[in-house]
Amino acid sequence: MVKSSEVSGFYKKPVEERLKFIQEFACLTDEEVATLRNTGGLPMGTAEKMIENVVGGLTLPMGIGVNFRINGKDVLVPMVIEEPSVVAAASNAAKMARARGGFSADFSGPVMIAQIQLVDVPDPFKASEIILSRKKDILELAAKQDPVLLQAGGGPRDMEVRLLDTKMGPMVITHLLVDTRDAMGANAVNTMAEAVAPLIEQMTGGRVYLRILSNLAVHRLARAKAIFERDVIGGEAVVDGILNASAFAEADPFRAATHNKGVMNGISSVVLATGNDTRAIEAGAHSYAARNGRYTSLTTYEKDADGNLVGSIEVPMAVGIVGGATKTHPVARIALKIMDIKSASELAQIIACVGLAQNFAALRALATEGIQRGHMGLHARNVAISAGASGELVEKIAERMVKEGKVRADRAKELLAEYAHK
Ligand code: MEV
């Protein structure tokens, strides 16, 4: 029988029925279904309200980035990630930064952009002038959409109008700049964009299509900086190695992609731990890295007069602490509590510091012994577990494989068999 994935009203079925359906469809064992059903720190009832068609949860490890000192305050940073070495590397970098007081960070403020796309205007210049001349009316109408945000001290702050030449003809793009305070603000700014669109159509005679936020959040920048003392990080050769690695990333998009991936190892793991939208942050970071027309590094490094390494980062950081999963996911709430976060601005600054720490750690490893030595120990444990090892055999087999320089599934299986016969 050919199986069909077409199900009507799947979203209406109770979780147990959905599980039954996929169990039959995919021939899952009862044990596999039980594993799916176990949603860990997120109750099934909450999971079901977060997205559609829920059948379970996937728990990733949360590790704590230690040693972080940010703007004079010590912080423990929850990081959720599947990749070994990331938490250890960030913690190690944060420890080295402490010699010079840790990280300093700031935030430009939580101003989000909403775009309104206007087409079919006979005179785009005239249309943009009209829109600008009615800025007060447009911002007032936008403000009316969110009294709660206004009460919290946020709301529309300004407006920009841009002319675009596209293959579909000229377009007039209005940006609403909205202070979203402690919210990520997607809902708030999208609602505002939708609300002012008819007014823009009416005043220009054009037609609005898209009304949606931009993830290139250039008015919502987090910045962090740290001085890594030359002798703490391994001497002049390490400083020069990192400067060369950084120059490579600045000059080459192929390298910059990997360099920034390392930055995002740190950033996305904290974004995820706090229930924020990793895709939004990633889209913002990578588009910001390409804002001058060529994709480049998100971090910069310099040598100071004493030969120390000064690292810095600037990255859009549209994170919130009040809405969505940050509020509903119990583990995300605990993550915020661990960091003692009182505002989205504080969270954005911590995340930027972790991104910088992660990048520094990666460059330091790459410019010296290479990344593999550190990675291999942890990787070897995963290989041993995948081969079927458990208990103390995991460590024994991993150690043997690393020593032999053969961290491979086939070798793990051989060693497992060897130990089984002992
Ligand atoms: C691996 O997840 C991240 C690195 O590749 C980053 C880098 O190359 O800078 C190590």
Q: What pLDDT, on the 0 to 100 scale, is given for residue 401?
A: 93
228-254 tens-digit pLDDT: 999 999 999 999 999 999 999 999 999
What average pLDDT does the chain have? 96
C-alpha to C-alpha distance for 254 and 311, rounded to whole angstroms: 21
Tell me, in angstroms, the distance from the centre of ligand 1 to residue 108's CA.
28
Q: Over 90: is that where the pLDDT of 155 sits?
A: yes
Residue whose tokens read 């930055």: 263
CB 110 within 8 A of CB 154: yes
Q: What pLDDT, on the 0 to 100 scale, is given for residue 420?
A: 84
Higher pLDDT, 342 or 371: 342
115-153 tens-digit pLDDT: 999 999 999 999 999 999 999 999 999 999 999 999 999
Q: Is the distance from the beta carbon of residue 138 to the nearest atom of ligand 1 less than 6 Å?
A: no
Active-site residue flag, 261: yes
Q: Is the distance from the beta carbon of residue 258 to the nearest atom of ligand 1 less than 6 Å?
A: yes
- Concatenate the DSSP letters of all residues of 17-85 into one string: HHHHHHHHHHT--HHHHHHHH--TTS-HHHHHHHSSS--------EEEEEEEEETTEEEEEEEE-SSTT
Tell me, in angstroms, the distance from the centre of ligand 1 to residue 262's CA.
4
Provide the H-helix boundaries in 55-171. Answer: 86-97, 124-133, 135-144, 147-151
Nearest CA to ligand 1 atom 10: 362
Share of the chain above pLDDT 70, in %: 99
Q: What pLDDT, on the 0 to 100 scale, is given for residue 249?
A: 98
- 10 Å CB burial of residue 71 (0-12, 13-18, 19+) is middle
Q: Is the distance from the beta carbon of residue 53 to the nearest atom of ligand 1 less than 6 Å?
A: no
* Nearest C-alpha neighbor of 42 from the set 27, 54, 28: 54
C-alpha to C-alpha distance for 358 and 313, rounded to whole angstroms: 11
Q: What pLDDT, on the 0 to 100 scale, is given for residue 374?
A: 67
Active-site residue flag, 277: yes
Tell me, in angstroms, the distance from the centre of ligand 1 to residue 290's CA.
19
33 Cβ contact partners less than 8 Å away, ≥ 6 residues apart: 19, 23
Nearest CA to ligand 1 atom 7: 259
* Nearest C-alpha neighbor of 68 from the set 356, 368, 308: 356
Partners of 241 in the β-ladder:
none
* Nearest atom, ligand 1, residue 363 CA: 9
